[in-house]
A and B are shown apart, each in its own frame.
Chain A
């Protein structure tokens, strides 16, 4: 877009000089992938432990870990990396980190959960709870070139 403006008006050429040689932003600069793990009780030699396993199928009540892995594949650092996801309709948020940004209005606004409210049955505002979360957002200030990272949240299958 900046190249187009530069072409359109030579008056902007000087001001935009430092940007004109940048390549257009490509999706391949950053890879982000989603995966889901399911919490399963594994019994071995008479003792049980909880493990996260990859699974194709779940049942109501299962605990899921919704994972988003990302990697800066660019040769420059990325900043202000904002990841946003929608909680699937059949899942309820089970646990979030302190400082997690959430939305309870379908992604229109994001804030800390304890600063958000929802409309109660009587029309009056009441504090939003985990079950009201519709979307989640993470903001990573800086990702160095080549660096990887991961965010996740826990949910329960309704």
Chain B
């Protein structure tokens, strides 16, 4: 016989396996020679039913600890139905021992609009112990856990939490059967997962602190450094941000002391002149104070504000 070139027939199933409720049928035909000539016969058709396997899987989608720098932050998880029938899962949170601080879980939601980002008011809330919508076999849901810190933890401290998913149809020992509770009335068989899955998420505090060190250099009209009328005072405000977080909308305000006046057009930020009028460059001066808007500064950065006053 010559080799045949044929098309590979794709089997109608997916990685999770053939769908629950499907039938597997086996039959054969035979032909033969007998005294009466060529004959043929068919066998009976035997059927087996495919039961539903209950097997959720849960993984964290965050590459590392998630920074918590304000009142809340979001952990993301992927909840996958690796079984062969649609299944809803109950979600709940368990704290993990050994955390540096206590976490307050504010909400569990699913990523209803599928955009990978938690959208408050849009993404469906799953109250603790409640179930997700049904997840099709071989499909996944993204789950968000929104939490904040209790107390006043320090920069760099970490807290962990476990997200637990349990199949609504049932949990138990692998191989246990729940009669008739599978899709289309077949039995539900608990898979190797036990019908449950869990994954951990970690928050790390990312706070920031601001320190401003003020220094002054006086130069008087006589070549010295006496604080006498007419003397110029060059003030440097060294603004430093420390910590792993970011300070947002930082504004440094320094009063123009009584008995002095601000020398026009002397305001600089890291050596770059800023205009005295309130415009887009962040610097503004009036008779009472000097103000520089520094915007968002991450920990580890510093800015140097310099300006001159003259003693009256």
Chain B residues, Cβ within 8 Å of A125: 5
**A67 closest partner in B (C-beta):** B26
Closest A residue by C-beta to B35: A76
User: How many chain B residues have a CB neighbour from A under 8 Å?
Assistant: 49
Binds B, one of A6-14, A45-53, A110-118: A110-118
Assess whether B205 is interfacial by the CB under 8 Å rule: no
Closest residue of chain A to B12, judged by CB?
A: A89
User: Closest CB-CB distance, A26 to chain B, in whole Å?
Assistant: 8
Partner of A111, one of B4, B25, B46, B186: B4
**B44 part of interface (Cβ distance < 8 Å):** yes
- Given contacts A32-B41, A70-B30, A91-B24, whether A57 and B51 have CB atoms under 8 Å apart is yes
Partner of A106, one of B1, B6, B24, B44: B6
CA distance A88 to B22 in the complex (A): 11
Cα of A8 to Cα of B118 in the assembled complex, Å: 85
- Whether B50 contacts A90 by the Cβ 8 Å rule is yes
Judging by beta carbons under 8 Å apart, are B35 and A22 in contact?
yes
Contact B34 A78 (CB under 8 A): yes
- A105 engages B7 (CB within 8 Å): yes
Given A30-B39, A55-B48, also A74-B4 (CB < 8 A) = no
Chain B 226-269 interface 0/1 with A at a Cβ cutoff of 8 Å (1 = within): 00000000000000000000000000000000000000000000
Q: A79–B37 Cα gap in the complex (Å)?
A: 10
Task: Tell which of B3, B24, B39 touches A90, judged by Cβ atoms closer than 8 Å.
Answer: B24
The answer to whether B4 and A59 have CB atoms under 8 Å apart is: no
Cα(A104)–Cα(B42), bound, Å = 22
Q: How far is the CA of A64 from the CA of B49 in the complex (A)?
A: 13
- The residue that A81 contacts in the complex, of B32, B52, B189, with Cβ under 8 A, is B32
A103 within 8 A of B: yes
User: Which residues in chain B, 1-27, are within 8 Å of chain A measured between CB atoms?
Assistant: 1-9, 11-13, 16-18, 22, 24-27
A134 CB contacts on chain B under 8 angstroms: 6, 9
A78: chain B residues within 8 A (beta carbon):
32-34
A34 and B53: CB pair below 8 A? no
* Interface: A17 (CB within 8 A): no
Shortest beta-carbon distance, A88 to chain B, in Å? Answer: 5
Give Cα A61–Cα B82 distance, bound, in whole angstroms. Answer: 13
Contact A60 B84 (CB under 8 A): yes
Task: Please state if B34 and A25 are interface contacts (CB–CB under 8 Å).
Answer: yes
**B6 adjacent to A104 (CB under 8 Å):** yes
Of all chain A residues, the one with the shortest Cβ separation from B84 is A60
Name the residue of chain A whose CB is nearest to the CB of B192: A61
- Kindly state the separation between the CA atoms of A105 and B2 in the bound complex, as whole angstroms: 14
Per-residue 0/1 for A35-69: is the Cβ within 8 Å of any B Cβ (1 yes, 0 no)?
11010000000000000000111111100101010
| Distance in angstroms between the alpha carbons of A27 and B1 in the assembled complex | 30
Q: Is the CB of A36 within 8 A of B34?
A: no
A55 to B52, CA, bound (A): 15
Q: B32, A104: Cβ atoms under 8 Å? A: no
A98 at the interface (CB under 8 A from B): no
**Are B5 and A118 in touch, CB under 8 angstroms?**
yes
A24 to B30, CA, bound (A): 17
Question: What are 28 A-to-B residue pairs whose CB atoms are below 8 Å?
Answer: A25-B39, A29-B36, A31-B41, A36-B48, A56-B48, A57-B49, A57-B51, A60-B84, A66-B26, A76-B35, A78-B33, A80-B31, A80-B33, A81-B30, A82-B30, A83-B29, A84-B28, A85-B26, A88-B24, A91-B24, A105-B5, A109-B6, A111-B2, A115-B3, A117-B6, A125-B5, A131-B8, A157-B18
Binding site for B on A (CB under 8 A): 1-2, 19, 22-27, 29-36, 38, 55-61, 64, 66, 68, 70, 74, 76-86, 88-92, 103-106, 108-111, 115-119, 125, 128, 131-132, 134, 143, 157-158
- B interface residue numbers (CB < 8 A to A): 1-9, 11-13, 16-18, 22, 24-46, 48-53, 84, 186-187, 189
